[in-house]
Amino acid sequence: MRLLLDTHAFLWIVSDDKKLPEDVKRCFLDSGNEIFISSASIWEMAIKISLGKLKIGIDLNAFVKNHVMGNDIGILNIRLSHIYRLENLPFHHRDPFDRLIICQAIDENLQIVSRDSSFDKYSVTRLW
């Protein structure tokens, strides 16, 4: 499977949060799966850290090196095709980061890993 982690899913995976379902943990640990995080999620974390809404204990650069690169998670950079797709994406979901993740998942044929059922209103597959 090719999986795109929503921001909270990534944070729960790397912190081994108990709210994370076992099947999601197994998918993350399965070396046959390709796991990605959007650069939009890293951007979202930077904003939440600067607002005091997210505490990670180290600077974001070190956090990304440790938990993204250290877990062989690919970074899916934002491309113009992802941005252009936003123009016609229905507003079922208002969060700009999630909307961009939806566009990336559609363009790159990725399943989204998230507990957020709002993703189900779009033509994407959601795991969880």
Who's near 61: CB < 8 A, 6+ residues apart? none
Provide the β-strand partners of residue 3. Answer: 35, 111
What are the pLDDT digits (tens) for 37-47?
999 999 999 99
The CATH number given to whatever domain includes residue 30 is 3.40.50.1010
What residue type is 11 in one-letter code?
L
Nearest to 44 by CA among 100, 88, 4: 100
Instruction: Supply 14's token pair.
Output: 């790397």
Instruction: Find the domain containing 98 and state its range.
Output: 2-127
The overall average pLDDT reported for the chain is 97
What are the pLDDT digits (tens) for 72-110?
999 999 999 999 999 999 999 999 999 999 999 999 999
Give the chain's domain count. 1
Q: What are phi and psi of 94, to 5 degrees?
A: -95, -20
User: What is the pLDDT, as a whole number, of residue 66?
Assistant: 97
User: What is the pLDDT, as a whole number, of residue 84?
Assistant: 98
What are the pLDDT digits (tens) for 22-31?
999 999 999 9
User: What is the pLDDT, as a whole number, of residue 77?
Assistant: 99
